[in-house]
Amino acid sequence: MSFFNDTFTGADATNIISGHTSDSGDSWVVHAAAFGGASATIFSNTCRPNVNNFVLINPDIVAPSADYSVLSRIKRITTDADTSNGSGIAIRLSSSASLTCYLFRVRTDRMVLEKYVSGSGTNLGTRMITVAQNDEFDVELLADGSTIEVYVFDVANSLWITASGTDVSKTALFSVTDSSVTAAGTPGIAAYRNYFTFDNYQALEAGVLHPSGEDFLALTDEVEAILRTTERPEQFLNFVTSAVGYRGTPWLPIEISQTLDLVQSVKNTWFGQGSSDLGLVQTVDFSYALENTLELEGVATGGINYNLFNEMELTDSSTRGGSMWNRTASSSLTLQSHANSYNPNNKCDRRYGARTGPVASGKLTLRSVDGLHEIELRNPQVDNGRRTSFERILRETRGGSLIVYRDASWPVTQTLQFTIISTKTATLVSLRQFFLDTLGYEIQLIDWLGEEWLGVVIRPDEPFVEDGEGYWTFGFEFEGHKVGGHSGSHNLSLSSEVSFVLE
Amino acid sequence: MALLIRGPFPTNQNLIVLPNPEISNTDALGATVQTIRMMSGKVNTHIKPRNGRRKMRWVFLLGNDKAKELEDYTIDFAGSLCTVVWRDETFLGWLTLNPFEMSGEVSEFYRVTLEFEEKK
């Protein structure tokens, strides 16, 4: 929970010490350790220290506990260099005139974390970085027990400054262990002259959700739980909607729905850009199971004429915004699982009707690798078989335990079995010649679904049987491997793309 | 209720969901008893309890795509421990049937047999 915050809203030149009250209702005071004449004023709704070699101001409060965070946006507004002092925020600032606190400051060539004990300063960390005019950073200085951490977010580049570079994820710039300053004290602002301004200054208790979770449903807020205990932080966003029909009128339809909209709008600009992201991300150290689940579930019990469906809709729309501009819209969704279903004609007599899966539109084709020999056969009977056998070790120990082992490099043997009926004599002659021409050689097999295999016909000596005058039935086995890895229909990809050019 | 197969244990990062198997699925103990009759007429029994592990066999009727997905899954995890969840029971073991066979049925369906033996 925030126990102090100030956005420094007010008229320019308002004295923050004497003429301004913070958003949380407290006033600012000049700290006893500040140089004489130190003060600060409001400048474009920010706090700008005056031209003093050591401005140190603090809210006129005492922090409720020694464990809290101080946050502020710090911006360099002048071209003046400052490589020796810096401006920043303080935590656990004691009221003594002998400066005692943890202090994070930004200079024009570095960022430093220091501790002061009775006026004596010690450097706890330095990060060399060029800070130019108008660079601004969201800074958090955290004190939790003996843990002192600093987080710095580069606003312009949307990156966190780390000890060695930058990161898209929140990463501490400094993280040290120090027990020199343990009293709660107050938060504060320390500055060398008026080179930097401060905005959105707040102090938050550690160990609780911050910012406040009351504004949970506003998707522009970031809610973060930081617990430095063995507790497990959990966050829940539950939408529960239920409706109960009127007794006696069960035929009256009742519809309930829930909507989660991620909407951005950019106007009056040539280069507007917006994006919605729904990310399910967990990161843990060491060996823990990570699981993300996006569940679309429909359940209907009883009733009459119920329909269940889940939809995941990806929609992009692009409207004319000017001449000679290309606009594209695309959505892509790749699924790697399939639903198995059948359509019973009636519940008592299950007869398999329409099937799921690809439509057989091709022919069974055998072709030599050099392309010189090819034969197209009619599709085999539906009792075709596929056999996959593995090389692996299966052992039982003396204690009765079963152990199975297979090395990933051990071969997998796949065999296809086909039976083809009603083949005319002419086709049979061609097939027999094809077998002779490619005997023992690797050939290409393309089935009626477009699946491509490379392998060898291993039973060319299977007899052909003449079932009718001039019509033969035969079978053969093909041992090989699929081309391109997994089944051609294993992945279901959906994509749509629209592009147009206006002139 | 679907039959879920997760693997490889313990990360369980892969999941395949299968429909209920056909009736006539089997569930057997792995334990065996061998009787030996002595010349004196006494009968001794030699047992192999095999830690009480079970061996199950299921037959599924799957569409073309699902059958091939299962085939690919079996190839990828033929030697890996996997977890099977069915009817509120969870089993840890291996898919032991070798070779894995798919037998075509009407209209691009395949009948597939899976054999699963617990690790105990």
A135-181: per-residue pLDDT in tens?
999 999 999 999 999 999 998 888 889 998 988 888 899 999 999 99
The tokens describing A287, both together, are 């060996």
- State how far residue A448 is from chain B, nearest Cα, in angstroms: 11
- pLDDT of A470 > 90? The answer is no
Contact of B28 with B55, CB cutoff 8 Å: yes
Peptide bond connecting A211 to the previous residue in cis, omega within 30 degrees of 0? yes
Residue showing tokens 């823990």: A288
- Lowest average pLDDT, out of A46-60, A283-297, A330-344, goes to A330-344
* Nearest CB neighbour to A382, from listed B51, B80, B104: B104
pLDDT of residue A124: 95
Average pLDDT, integer, range A236-242: 62
Residues of A within 8 A of B71 (CB-CB) are: 386, 388, 487
DSSP state of A340: -
Angstroms from A93 CA to nearest CA on chain B: 48
Contact B75 A412 (CB under 8 A): yes
- Which chain B residues are Cβ-neighbours of A289 within 8 angstroms? 10-12
A382: nearest CB among B63, B96, B105:
B105
Helix (H, G, I), strand (E, B) or coil at B20: coil
Q: Could you tell me the pLDDT band of residue A348, with boundaries at 50, 70 and 90?
A: very low
The per-residue pLDDT for range A387-420, each reduced to its tens digit, is 999 888 988 888 788 888 888 888 888 999 999 9
> What proportions of chain A, in percent to the nearest 5, are helix, strand and coil?
5, 40, 60
A272 touches chain B (CB under 8 A): no
According to the model, what pLDDT value does residue A259 have? Answer: 67
Which helix (H) or strand (E) element contains residue A116?
A: strand A110-117
pLDDT at site A179: 93
pLDDT for res A122: 94
User: What's the mean pLDDT in A381-392?
Assistant: 87
ipTM of the complex in this document: 0.75
Give the Cα separation of B116 and B97 in Å (integer): 7
Q: Do B65 and A357 touch (CB under 8 A)?
A: yes
Rounded CA gap, A234 and A213, in Å?
Answer: 13
- pLDDT computed for residue A42 by the predictor: 94
Residue B56 banded pLDDT, cuts 50, 70, 90: very high
Q: Is the pLDDT of residue A38 over 60?
A: yes
**A481 in Cβ contact with A453 (< 8 Å):** yes
Mean pLDDT of B85-109: 88
Residue A271 has pLDDT above 60, yes or no: no
Please indicate whether, in this complex, the C-beta atoms of B63 and A401 are within 8 angstroms of each other.
no
Q: Which of A59-68, A256-265, A392-401 is predicted least confidently?
A: A256-265
Mean pLDDT value of segment A413-432: 90
| A497 within 8 A of A329, measured Cβ to Cβ | yes
Q: Using the beta-carbon criterion (under 8 Å), do A401 and B120 form an inter-chain contact? A: yes
Find where tokens 């002061």 sit.
A116
In chain B, % of residues over pLDDT 90: 29
Instruction: Give the confidence band of A249 by pLDDT, cuts at 50, 70, 90.
Output: low
* Interface A:B, Cβ pairs < 8 A: 128
| CB-CB under 8 Å, B100 with A402 | no
- For chain A, give the mean pLDDT: 76
Which of B18, B79, B104 is nearest residue A392 as measured by Cβ atoms? Answer: B79
Residue A312: its pLDDT value, please?
61
The angle formed by the CA atoms of residues A350, A353 and A356, to the nearest 5 degrees, is 120
Q: How confident is the model at residue A10 (pLDDT cuts 50, 70, 90)?
A: very high
DSSP-derived letter for residue B77 is: T
Mean pLDDT confidence for B43-65: 88
The CA distance from B118 to the nearest CA of chain A, in Å, is 8
Q: Which of A55-64, A151-160, A198-207, A252-261 has the lowest mean pLDDT?
A: A252-261
Determine the Cα–Cα distance for residues A479 and A456; give it in Å rounded to an integer. Answer: 5
Kindly report the nearest CA distance between residue A193 and chain B, in angstroms: 56
Alpha-carbon dihedral B15, B21, B26, B31, rounded to 10 degrees? 10
Whether residues B79 and A338 touch (CB distance < 8 A) is answered with: no
pLDDT at B63 over 70: yes
Distance of CA A295 to the CA centre of its chain: 16
Query: Cα angle vertex B110, ends B109, B113, to 5°?
Result: 150
Sign of CA dihedral A352, A355, A359, A364: negative
Residue B58 exposed, middle or buried by CB count within 10 Å (0-12, 13-18, 19+)? buried
Q: pLDDT grade, residue A304 (50/70/90)? A: very low
CB contact under 8 A, A382 and B53: no
Kind plus residue range of the DSSP H or E element containing B68: helix B64-76
**Parallel/antiparallel/unpaired status of strands B82-86 and B89-95:** antiparallel
CA distance B119 to B91: 8
Residue A95 near residue A32 (C-beta atoms within 8 A): yes
Identify the pLDDT of residue A26.
92
Distance from CA of B27 to the nearest CA of A (A): 17
The answer to whether residues A95 and A30 touch, using CB atoms and an 8 Å cutoff, is no
**Does residue B30 come out as left (phi exceeding 0), alpha (psi in the -120 to 50 range) or beta?**
alpha
What is the pLDDT, as a whole number, of residue A494?
A: 41
For the residues A429-439, what does the mean pLDDT come to?
89
Per DSSP (E only), the strands in A16-54 are 28-30, 40-43, 46-49
Better-predicted residue by pLDDT, A487 or A92: A92
Two tokens, residue B101? 């066979």
Task: Out of A90-104, A319-333, B29-43, pick the least confident.
Answer: A319-333
User: Is the CB of residue A357 less than 8 Å from the CB of residue B65?
Assistant: yes
How far is it, in rounded angstroms, from Cα A234 to Cα B114?
39
Q: Are B94 and B81 in contact, with CB atoms under 8 Å apart?
A: yes
The pLDDT of residue B93 is: 93
Q: Give pLDDT tens digits for A196-237.
A: 999 999 998 865 433 333 333 444 445 555 544 455 555 566
Q: At A491, is the pLDDT very low, low, confident or very high (cuts 50, 70, 90)?
A: very low
Q: For chain A, count helices (H), then strands (E).
A: 1, 29
Contact B68 A406 (CB under 8 A): no
Q: What is the pTM of this model?
A: 0.41
Flag if A400 and B98 touch (Cβ within 8 Å): no
Among the listed residues A51, A58, A56, A47, the one whose alpha carbon sits nearest the alpha carbon of residue A13: A47
Which residues touch A169 (CB under 8 Å, ≥6 apart)? A160, A283
| Bridge partner list, A17 | none
